[in-house]
Structure 1
Amino acid sequence: MAAAGLAFGSSGLLAACGGDGGSDGGSAGGDSQSGGGSSRGGRLRVGHVGAGKGESFNPARGSSFIDASRYYNLFDPLSRVSPTLEIEPGLALEWNPNNDSTVWEVKLRPDVTWHDGKPFTADDVIYTLQEMNDAKHISHSSVTNVKLGDVKKLNDLTLRIPLKAPNARLFDSFVQQNTVIVQDGAKDFSKPVGTGPFVFESFSTGERSLCKRNPNYWEEGKPYVDEWEDISIDDNAARLNALLSGEIDMMSQLPFAQAKDQQQRGEIQVLAADSPAIQVFIMAVDIAPFDDERVRQAFRLIPDRQALIDGALFGFGTAGNDLAGKGLPFFAEDLPVREQDLEQARSLLKQAGAENLEVTLHTSDIVPGFVEAATLFAQQAKEAGVTIDVKKESASAYFDTSLLYTKLDFAQSFWTFSSLPIWYEQSLLSDAVWNETHWREPSFDKLIREAQGSPDESTATELWRRIQQIQYDEGGYIVWSNQQLVDGASTQVKGLKPSSFFNLGGWNYRDVQLG
């Protein structure tokens, strides 16, 4: 496993891969496949919950869904994730490690140009990695194991990346939206330059952005549409009405009640994909009362998880077991299924001196099901003697790390990811920007890095099992659901395949056709 690399043929098909490629994934809803010849032209209009003034074309800063949509379509990542969670080539064609996976040689895609005509080279990748060294960069944790001062350009299309500790699947750390490659020297993202399928035209922060087709995109013939517009529409009903009336062509995060209704009506396409995605309640482990492990244990025993699935997700998911990554390699399937136990919850709270506890749960419309789940959980908590005051926060501020995100003691979160190791790297390393439960344990960091670099699958499995046991017993997450990703599209949209990785086919607009 440690000595296995990742290489792709010139067609982009996987030629050789070490380790497991991921879960079966798969779509639970129909995909908008094109029939016959390709349709070209038109403006693709996509509606999202916006992020207000926090919206940005700077991949170092944005944490919202609309930011992810923009990053993946104006820029390119080194590696992509397929709808079934397999690693596919992006700007990197080969990842070749040494024998102990402490040094990786990465071969880049030839004949790629930036939107301003400059050639894409290893200098751009090295610059991006250096930029990620900023502790405020959203994907800072992706490079904390890299010896950045020793990264070396071997030629224009090859670089060597040495690591502080082994990582048997380094490519997993460079698929997320905040790891897309920016141009060497880029500082001003008011008029961003990328290598992606669309070229920047204009941007009104918190309102809309417009990009045009990149005629020189390295995927020949793509994209199919002439223009792509992302539009901020925070209100869920307004977003759906815009889709139904033809004002937009697609919407991310179709509310579950409306998705269920539209599956019957058929006025739009309901795109639903089985996914490792999770909805969670988060408890900051360093803020009272959640700094007491017994309180955290008690709160994990409060939810009736199936009732939350039925009432908040309308059946678009399955009950979670307080761990991320169900269905993915290394997931600890053997840990006991956690059921509601109000008597034990009350006992633990009494032991912690937290009887008649009152807390505030911060929620938002930013993710469908959040408000409904918060309301139901508050009702369930009453039976354990806990009063939960539900406070609805602004959608535009909720996932903004400069405002609310990672600063709340008791809140909700939502994750999509392609592998179990990358989720732990992004959420639970001490220096992870998205460390929303404030879990900071140097010994735990070491265990994650050891698991990432383990020399064989059995050793890796045991290490990841230990990591998950710690979180299952002591962590700040209540993982109550494994949720499907549900979006909506006009019946005129073709070519979009539901993805287990992320919404709207993994934000893949290069394959979308209209008409």
Structure 2
Amino acid sequence: MTEPHPSPSPHPSRRSTLRATGAGALLLGLGLTGCRSAVSASSYRAGDDSGPRRGGTVSVAINSDFTPSLLFSQSSQPLQNRLLFNTLTRYDDALKPHPELATSWTYAKDGRSVTLKLRDDVTYHDGRRFTADDVIFAVRNLQDPQRAAQLRATAAAITDFEKRGDHELVLKLAHPVTNLFDLFEFMIIPDRHTVEQAVTGKTLNGTGPFRLKKWSPGSALSLIRNDRYFKPGRPYLDAVELRVIPQAEALISSLRSGQSHLSYQVPGKSIRTVRDNPDLVVTTYDTGAGASYLGVNTTIAPFDDKTVRQALAWSVDRDRILKQSLGGYGLASAAPWPKSSPAYTEANRTHYTYDPAKARRLLKSAGHSRLTAPLLHLNSPESTAIAEAVQYDLQQAGVRVTLQPTDPATAQKKLISQDMPALWTMDHGFAQVQPATLAVSAYPFNEAKNTSKYRSEHYTKVVREAWTAAGAGTARQHALEQHVSDVLLDEAFIIDLVVQGSVQVASSKLHGVTLNKFMYLNLDDAYLV
């Protein structure tokens, strides 16, 4: 199969940009449709026909600091990745890949190799030319277990490389995979000569539209325009500041006062405080924010009993969590999939509903009437609200939990090292791309080594079948994906609660903002008016 793309594809189509009066009711009813693009480069506010303007600094409010040691894994703060680095390809809303550093690709008929043609006009921030060697390094970098990259298994399926000059490369695969372009969208292409400095935050030498000016840990990540960027005339902006504002109230105030132009960290239940501001625009992204879930450590009794885990799944009022904790932005769901996913079904979404009486019966059948357990959660307003809602619901079913607030960096490290207590609540990604990626890549779900320490030959078998079934046909692929869902729902080692709809709050002066499927911020075409 050949996908010729001689030049970069058009930008994703414009989706609903919700201005505030009356927008709240509409937002609460939105389904998940795969929207990525908040405001396209060609969309202007009514009465504004001036087009893109050069110059200016965009201030992005974030609630947690950049963590360079997690640069190559999906962390809670990935916005800077696409500002500094490029990827090989980028998805549209239908999961069709389009060119970025790769201009075209050709699959072998047996699915065991793919030939990439690469751009020949790209340089790193320091002036060094981008070549096929940088792609080889990027793949091997993700194969390194020290990088803690969630897509390591897919990178590891690439077993050899054949260079055909500096800008053509054949990737040889151990077996066909259904999610190779997930890897290409996820894998930033770092400078192979300074990668060890990158993971300490000292040097971030990429090919992206902006380059590092200064990182002030705990305060801000300051970026300036890359004058060597391969896209003519881009970026329009002179600079980007990612400013750390941990407190939700202060973050919202910075948006309302105009000190910040953009944020994705306004809690859903606080959106009402900004949506009526005529200087702010609220936009929903349907697949970028991942899902909130309750995790269970299956090595700690009695949570090693599937019946107990299923009782927890019946205990939680997902609709109330969505409404009260997230302001209605998202989809109450017992399964991880957004509606845009090929694996989504309504039956999966409603597999567990709120039924505390059934939960109590299941606990009793497992020999328990009362249980106690710790519940780790992120120390942020939204995460705390979800944890408190889960705590209340579980108590009604006879499970008394003690909350353990934890900072995001510590929680991420515990997630990766499988050092979680009996219960925890966090968010996961990877359900918004090819379905097999979730179970071979995301730490909570990984069939070989997951945070819950759940092991099953059957789970491994169905995941591997879904992952390696490239070219199997749509019906067969859907059947394999459903087998994965069946195991996840039955074993309940990860109990999904709400598929979140990421909410962008932006200044009405800011245009041209997009996100990729992994929440990498793209400001190539962004400008201020």
Output the TM-score relative to the length of structure 1: 0.87
Secondary structure of the 2:80 match is helix
- Of residues 5, 10, 13 in structure 2, which corresponds to 1:8? 5
- Structure 1 range deviating more: 207-216 or 275-284: 275-284
Establish whether residue 115 from structure 1 lines up as the match of residue 120 from structure 2.
Answer: no
- After superposition, residues 329-478 of structure 1 pair within 5 angstroms as 329-335=342-348, 337-366=351-380, 369-400=382-413, 407-416=420-429, 417-427=432-442, 428-431=445-448, 435-454=450-469, 455-478=472-495
**Could you tell me how far apart the structure 2 residues matched to 1:28 and 1:194 are?**
24
Which residue in 1 is equivalent to 2:296? 283
Which residue in 2 is equivalent to 1:254? 266
Establish whether residue 492 from structure 1 lines up as the match of residue 509 from structure 2.
Answer: yes
Which residue in 2 is equivalent to 1:483? 500
Q: Percent identity?
A: 25
The structural deviation recorded for 1:502 is: 5.3
Establish whether residue 181 from structure 1 lines up as the match of residue 162 from structure 2.
Answer: no
Which residue in 2 is equivalent to 1:319? 332
Establish whether residue 501 from structure 1 lines up as the match of residue 517 from structure 2.
Answer: yes
Change (3 A) 1:135 1:403: closer
- Tell me, yes or no, if the aligned pair for 1:145 and 1:165 is still in contact at 8 Å: no
Equivalent residue letter for 1:297 = Q
Equivalent residue letter for 1:257 = K
- Unaligned 5+ segments in structure 1 are 15-22
Equivalent residue letter for 1:394 = D
The structural deviation recorded for 1:181 is: 0.8
**Could you tell me how far apart the structure 2 residues matched to 1:321 and 1:440 are?**
21
**Could you tell me how far apart the structure 1 residues matched to 2:496 and 2:409 are?**
24
The structural deviation recorded for 1:247 is: 2.2
The structural deviation recorded for 1:296 is: 0.9
Which residue in 2 is equivalent to 1:133? 143
Which residue in 2 is equivalent to 1:90? 100
Equivalent residue letter for 1:47 = A
Which residue in 2 is equivalent to 1:294? 307
Equivalent residue letter for 2:209 = P
**Could you tell me how far apart the structure 1 residues matched to 2:36 and 2:182 are?**
22
Change (3 A) 1:149 1:216: same
Change (3 A) 1:131 1:443: farther
- Structure 1 range deviating more: 155-164 or 422-431: 422-431
| 1:225-255 per-position Cα deviation (integer Å, ceiling 9, x unaligned) | 1011111111111111122222222122211
**Could you tell me how far apart the structure 2 residues matched to 1:27 and 1:61 are?**
20
Equivalent residue letter for 1:423 = L
Change (3 A) 1:207 1:404: farther
Secondary structure of the 2:274 match is helix
Change (3 A) 1:91 1:401: farther
Change (3 A) 1:192 1:405: farther
Equivalent residue letter for 2:387 = A
- Structure 1 range deviating more: 140-149 or 150-159: 140-149
Establish whether residue 75 from structure 1 lines up as the match of residue 81 from structure 2.
Answer: no
The structural deviation recorded for 1:380 is: 1.8
The structural deviation recorded for 1:496 is: 2.2
**Could you tell me how far apart the structure 1 residues matched to 2:92 and 2:527 are?**
19
**Could you tell me how far apart the structure 1 residues matched to 2:204 and 2:37 are?**
36
Equivalent residue letter for 2:357 = E
- Structure 1 range deviating more: 72-81 or 408-417: 408-417
Equivalent residue letter for 2:503 = V
Change (3 A) 1:479 1:76: same
**Could you tell me how far apart the structure 2 residues matched to 1:134 and 1:315 are?**
40
**Could you tell me how far apart the structure 2 residues matched to 1:401 and 1:77 are?**
28
Establish whether residue 200 from structure 1 lines up as the match of residue 197 from structure 2.
Answer: no
The structural deviation recorded for 1:470 is: 0.6
Secondary structure of the 1:44 match is strand
The structural deviation recorded for 1:275 is: 2.8
Which residue in 2 is equivalent to 1:19? none
Which residue in 2 is equivalent to 1:156? 166
- Tell me, yes or no, if the aligned pair for 2:123 and 2:130 is still in contact at 8 Å: yes
The structural deviation recorded for 1:161 is: 1.6
- Structure 1 range deviating more: 74-83 or 393-402: 393-402
| 1:430-454 per-position Cα deviation (integer Å, ceiling 9, x unaligned) | 456xx33333445533432321232
- Tell me, yes or no, if the aligned pair for 1:325 and 1:419 is still in contact at 8 Å: no
The structural deviation recorded for 1:111 is: 0.9
- Of residues 28, 36, 60 in structure 1, which corresponds to 2:72? 60
Change (3 A) 1:57 1:270: farther
The structural deviation recorded for 1:347 is: 2.0
Equivalent residue letter for 2:221 = S
**Could you tell me how far apart the structure 2 residues matched to 1:28 and 1:151 are?**
34
The structural deviation recorded for 1:10 is: 1.6
Change (3 A) 1:489 1:385: same
| 1:209-228 per-position Cα deviation (integer Å, ceiling 9, x unaligned) | 21111112122221111011
Change (3 A) 1:295 1:95: farther
**Could you tell me how far apart the structure 2 residues matched to 1:395 and 1:318 are?**
24
- Tell me, yes or no, if the aligned pair for 1:322 and 1:477 is still in contact at 8 Å: no
Equivalent residue letter for 2:164 = L
The structural deviation recorded for 1:299 is: 0.4
- Tell me, yes or no, if the aligned pair for 2:415 and 2:451 is still in contact at 8 Å: no
Which residue in 2 is equivalent to 1:99? 109
The structural deviation recorded for 1:408 is: 4.0
The structural deviation recorded for 1:293 is: 1.0
Equivalent residue letter for 2:505 = G
Equivalent residue letter for 1:180 = I
Change (3 A) 1:169 1:393: closer
Secondary structure of the 1:111 match is coil
Change (3 A) 1:481 1:254: same
- Tell me, yes or no, if the aligned pair for 1:30 and 1:272 is still in contact at 8 Å: no
**Could you tell me how far apart the structure 2 residues matched to 1:462 and 1:403 are?**
30
**Could you tell me how far apart the structure 1 residues matched to 2:457 and 2:105 are?**
29
Change (3 A) 1:94 1:57: farther
Change (3 A) 1:354 1:102: farther
Which residue in 2 is equivalent to 1:20? none
Instruction: Give the paired residue count.
Output: 492
- Tell me, yes or no, if the aligned pair for 1:325 and 1:420 is still in contact at 8 Å: no
